[in-house]
Amino acid sequence: MKLILYGTDFCQLCDEALEVVEQVLGDREYQLEIVDISTTDELMAKYAYTIPVLKLESAELDWPFTANDVISFVTANI
């Protein structure tokens, strides 16, 4: 399972989101790709006001999310 966490460097909310994802999925097999949206104009236009965003397949989970939200999101989209 491959998850993408969109965010930026020095983003406290992004750090919090990463902690939630790692806490929930730490024991499960998954690939987490952390993508800095400031690297492209396209990503900035799409996510500048919604980061952090967790993506799995074509589904996205916007912040704020809890551990239970991540579990439900992953379960519903695998």
> Band of the pLDDT at 1, cuts 50, 70, 90?
confident
CATH number of 2-77: 3.40.30.10
pLDDT tens sequence across 37-50: 999 999 999 999 99
Q: What Å distances lie between residue 64 and 5, 28, 48, CA to CA?
A: 13, 22, 15
How confident is the model over 55-59, as a mean pLDDT?
A: 95
pTM comes to: 0.93
- The rounded Cα 66 to chain-centroid distance in angstroms is 12
- 14 contacts 7 by C-beta, under 8 angstroms: yes
- Check residues 14 and 27 and name the one with the higher pLDDT: 14
Per DSSP, 38 falls in state G
Report domain extents, the chain: 2-77
